[in-house]
Every structure is written in structure tokens, then in C-alpha cells.
Chains A and B, each alone.
Chain A
Amino acid sequence: MTQILFKNIDTKGLTAIDVYEKQGGYQSLKKAFDKKPEEIIEIVKASGLRGRGGAGFPAGLKWSFLAKDVFPRYLACNADESEPGTCKDRELLEKNPHLLIEGIIVTCYACRIETGYIYYRGEFQHASDLMDKAIEEAYARGFLGKNIMGSGLDLDLYTHLGAGAYICGEESALLNSLEGRRGEPRLKPPFPAVEGLYGKPTVINNVETLCVVPWIINEGAEKHAALGTEKSKGTKLVSVSGHVKKPGNYEIVMGTPTSELIFNMAGGIRDDNKLKAFIPGGSSANILPADKVDVPYDYEAIAEAGSMLGSGALIVMDHTVNIVEAALRMSYFYMHESCGKCTPCREGTRWMYQILSDIQGKKGSHKQIEKLEDICDNMSFKCFCALGDAAVAPVASSIMNFRSDYEELIKKVEGDAVTA
């Protein structure tokens, strides 16, 4: 199976530039610099590369939206990895920091950017320290700094640490945080490509997206476009966690059946239990029942099955799980992480958590299920950013697909009342 990101990931000492170069690292730079920046954007467009952070927006197209002739421009690499269930970027960052640097250099050349920041979530101090060392090595080799390899590109790259806020993974909140503000999202438009960091045109891409770029330059757009399905191209890193025998990050070609990931790559369900449910793309994606497990792992097929590929976090639950309890935990998370800016999200997340607590604590009623559905309706698409919608996903989908788990808990209450 083709591996783009994990091919050499376990090479000993890969974080050192010598080892990385021996593995073919930094070879895409010369190839890129031989072309015009606009050509690179066309190549990435033709490759079909889509953003790996969650939204799946075509990367080359995003770059082509940069406001014309407005400089300086900035790059902000999103290394905030906070979506529950997701841990693939951390593996790339800790094991292969130079790959990200290489991807960033090519991207900045294509987009005529002279300053880049890698925004890490605050807890990634270790990864950020590793990156600082890698950046220093890249400067010493002339891959960063002035007139890189005679290309005319000047590029400075810095790391920046957040300080604990899920919302800073949302691109406009990330920019606010990078500007030294509260990490609240901005109203869009204007989009970051027009007015982003410090009000200037800004490219924001996820770690995984940028790490694919060198391969596309080396191997060609066609080779990337030949992988995967009609609209989901290339490979995807998937973090498989929960009730599987071998949890881990796996690289698959887009369109591989989800069942292959769970039952083959991740070794199947723990204790050979029965699969009950899975979340394909992190806690912000709808929970799906076991009978959907053959869904091809790509953007379109997962959407058609009623969920989303999101950040590529496959969370697996066996038959011992009470879905209400799982939804309750995820709902606590969104209540905790709502920045409080938009009323539907601030109030809705708290209200949902309270009702779910009641139901889980066997103090619920059928009316409360309807109330939850009503709250979900009133939160969807009514907030500045996607957190409001994300908070709805575990609740609405657990009611839709596992209503009997709710009713079981309520029946107990009503049964108790009758006996009393």
C-alpha cells in the first residue's frame, strides 16, 4: 500500500537533518524552485489534495484565494491538534519535523510568503522544542533564511505555543490567539486568505496537509490524483482509538473500507467483543452504528453514511458501551471548550450537558429527549464557528442511531415510578 507520510516515520534519528536528507528529504525544494510559484499552486490543485484538518477544502484552491498583490503574507500552520480522538499530527511532529518544514518552504514559495508560524497547542511543548531544533538545522543548511538556494525566496519560520483552548484549532480563533488575543473566532468573511494574521493575506493549513506537499512535488500531481477515489485523493492518516486491540495511527489510501481499519489494521475489537458504534472523524462527527462499518473511508462516502471524515479520528466502541454515557462525556467537553462568544453555543452546550446528566443519572424523561432534539435544532448553523455544530453531532446522532439506549435509561425511571 502506498505510504506518503509514514513511509520512513520509524527511521532511527529521523528528527536530525542528516538522517532526514539521507532518506531523500528536502529534495522537493530544488524541483519546486525550478518552477514558477503559480505552477506549484496548479500542481497542488491538480493533485486533488484536500485539507486534512477537518474541513477537507482543496488546498491549492485555498492558496489561489490569496488577495492579489497584497504583501506581506503569512503562513500559519495549524498544529493545535485538539479534536478528541486525534493524535496523528503529534506523531508527524515528534518523529519527522523536517517533513513539515519542507512542506512549509514549498508552500511559502508557491504563495510568496516570507514569514511562517507553526501554532502548537500549549501541551505540545516537547514537539515544539524538537521543531525549534529542526528549524535551527534548516537555517544552518540554508533551507530557511535569505534567498533560499538562490531561489529568491526569503523565509523565516517560527514556533508559537498556545495555552490550552480547543477553539484555537478553528482557523480564525488560531489567528486571534497568535496575535496575543483571546482565542475567539472571527466572523467570516473576510476569510484569512484576504484578511488573516495582522489583517494580511494568510494561508492556514493543517500539519498533515503541508506534509503531503513535498511528495506531490517529487512524484507529480498525477500520481497523487491516481490514489483514492474520484473526489478524495491520496492517503489519509487515521487515528484508531477506543476498543480495538491495536490502537494507533494508520496511513490508508482514501476509500479503504472502515472495517479494514478496525478489524485488520487495528486488530479487531478488544476481547473479541461485538462492535456497537464508531465515530469516523473525531468527536465532532456523528456517531454511526455498527452496520455502517464497511463504509469506504473517504470524504464523500462517510458523508453519505451520515457522518464526516473530519480530522481522521476513528473512535471505536464495543457492545459494553452505553452511548448516552459517551455522548455525555463529549457534551461535557463542548461545554468546557465553548468560548462563550455566541449564545446558542454557550447556553446550548450547558443545557445539553445538564439534560444528558439527568438521563444518565436515571432522572430523565421522554420529553427531555425531545428537548435535546430541539436544542440541537436551535444550535445548528447559528454560531460564528463550527464548535456549535460540533457540539450537536454526538447528541443528535446518538439520539438518532441509538435511541433505545436513551429509552432504556428512561424506562428504568418510569418503571421505578410505577412500582413506587
Chain B
Amino acid sequence: MFVFTSEDENKIEKIVKKYPVKRSALLPLLTLVQRREGYISSEAMQAIGEKLDLSPGYVQSVMSFYTMYHTEPTGKYIILFCHNISCQLNGADNLFAYTGKKLGVSGGGTTKDNKFTLHKEECLAACCGAPMMRINDTFYEKLTKEKIDQVLDSLP
């Protein structure tokens, strides 16, 4: 069973006020839920729909369009590893393989201890710092094996 907390309710009220049409708050609400829960369950989808007078089917249809929403639980840290052109030219493929091997999730996926979810990602607008990865909200640029070790080992 999914319920909004009173803190959520306050935030939602502010978000909805930003727009002349309630539906515009859909992406912000999905993001709000995902940032707390780590993913968006079908109960959460329903609850969001009810808040915005949208059917669960509509919510799901919009949600499925965007790659950042997860319908399954993910690791505590989501590693988005850029493999697009500027990062590729700077050795991203090898570093992605290295990271996958280090975490025991070659090719990407969630580690057994649910600490990390590793994903290959498209360009994240840090091309001048290639190769790069984003972990939750933080960008890590000019990666080397040593830097990856240092970053991943330091995360609690």
C-alpha cells in the first residue's frame, strides 16, 4: 500500500501550483516518489494518478516513455556510465567493463547487496570531462581505473 507522507503533501501542493494544468505535475511527482522509494510501484502510480485526475494507464504510458523511471527496486547508488561518442573515444568501454567486473555485474545490473545499479548511459553533457559517470546526482569526470576505485570504495 502506497501513501503520501504529510511532507509529500506539502511538496505536491507547491508543485501543482506551478502549472495552470495539473497534468504538468506528473513528471515532478513521479520524480518525487522515485527519489524517496528508489522506484515507482503500481500502487504509487495509482496514487499519483488520483492526485492529478489521471488514469493509472495514462500514468504508466507517460512513465514508460522516460528512461530515468524504474518500476523495480534499484541499488542505493545508481551509476550511469556514459558510453556515447566523446566518452567512447576516451576509453569508456574499457572502463565500463572494468566497473562491471569490479562490482560483479558485468554488462550492468544491480549488485547482490543492492548497493549499486550499473547502467550504460547515453550522453550526459559532460563531454569535455570524458570519460564520465553519474552516481545519483553527482557527475564524476576524467575517469581512470584508479579514480573509479577511489570513488566506489568511498561510498558508504
Q: When chains A and B are docked, how far (Å) is the Cα of A106 from the Cα of B138?
A: 32
Complex Cα distance, B130 from A248, in Å, reads: 10
Given A248-B128, A315-B85, A326-B85: A123 in contact with B90 (beta carbons within 8 A): no
Stretch of A49-57, A60-68, A158-166 at the chain-chain interface = A158-166
Chain B nearest CB from A179 CB (Å) reads 6
> In whole angstroms, what is the CA distance A330 to B83 when docked?
10
**One of B61-69, B97-105, B108-116 at the interface:** B61-69
8 Å CB contact of B137 from A115, A126, A177, A337: A126
Counting CB contacts under 8 A, is B79 at the interface? no
Asked if A85 meets B86 with Cβ closer than 8 Å, knowing A158-B18, A180-B24, A249-B128, the reply is yes
Residues of A within 8 A of B127 (CB): 84-87, 239, 241, 247, 313, 315
Size class of the contact patch on chain B: 35 or more
Please indicate the chain B residues that have their CB under 8 angstroms from the CB of A247 in the complex: 86, 127-130
Name the residue of chain B whose CB is nearest to the CB of A318. B89
Tell me if A321 is interfacial: C-beta within 8 Å of chain B: yes
Query: Contacts A123-B80, A126-B138, A315-B85: A81 and B125 contacting too (C-beta < 8 A)?
Result: yes
**Number of residues on chain A facing chain B (CB within 8 A):** 56
B124 within 8 A of A: yes
Choose from B21, B24, B66, B86 the contact partner of A164 (Cβ within 8 Å): B66
List the B side residues contacting A86 at CB < 8 Å. Answer: 123, 125, 127
Q: In the complex, A85→B68 CA distance in Å?
A: 20
Query: Within the complex, what minimum Cβ distance (angstroms) separates B81 from chain A?
Result: 13
* CA distance in complex: A160, B15 (Å): 10
From A82, A178, A243, contact of B123 by CB (8 A): A82
Known: A121-B125, A241-B127. A163 touches B31 (CB 8 A): yes
Closest to A321 in B: B89
Q: Which residues of B contact A258 (CB under 8 A)?
A: none
Interface residues of A in 81-138 (CB under 8 A from B): 81-87, 89-90, 115, 117, 121-126
How does the 8 Å CB contact mask read for B51-95 relative to A, with 1 for contact and 0 for none? Answer: 010100000011001111100000000001001111011100000
Note all chain A residues with C-beta closer than 8 A to B83. Answer: 329
Give the residue name and chain of the B residue nearest to A90 (CB).
B125
- Smallest CB gap from B83: residue in A: A329
In whole angstroms, how far apart are the Cα atoms of A165 and B23 in the complex?
19
Contact (Cβ within 8 A) A123 B66: no
Query: A122–B66 contact, CB under 8 A?
Result: yes
A333 touches B128 (CB 8 A): no
CB distance from B52 to the nearest CB of A (A): 8
Contacts of B118 in A (CB 8 A): none
Which residues on B sit within 8 Å (CB–CB) of A336? Answer: 122
Listed by A's residue number, 25 A-B pairs whose Cβ atoms lie within 8 Å are A72-B20, A84-B85, A84-B86, A84-B127, A85-B86, A87-B129, A121-B125, A122-B66, A160-B24, A161-B27, A164-B66, A180-B21, A180-B25, A180-B26, A180-B27, A182-B62, A241-B130, A242-B86, A247-B86, A326-B89, A329-B88, A330-B85, A333-B84, A333-B122, A333-B123
Additional pairs, 7, CB under 8 Å, beyond known A180-B27, A247-B127, A330-B85: A89-B125, A123-B80, A165-B65, A241-B130, A247-B86, A283-B123, A329-B84
- Ranked nearest first, the 3 interchain pairs of A and B with the lowest CB-CB distance are A163-B66, A164-B68, A180-B26
Which B residues form the contact surface with A (CB < 8 A)?
A: 18, 20-21, 23-28, 30-31, 52, 54, 61-62, 65-69, 80, 83-86, 88-90, 122-130, 134, 137-139
Q: Which residues of A contact B (CB under 8 A)?
A: 72, 81-87, 89-90, 115, 117, 121-126, 158, 160-166, 177-184, 198, 239-243, 247-249, 279, 283, 313, 315, 317, 321, 326, 329-330, 333, 336-337, 339
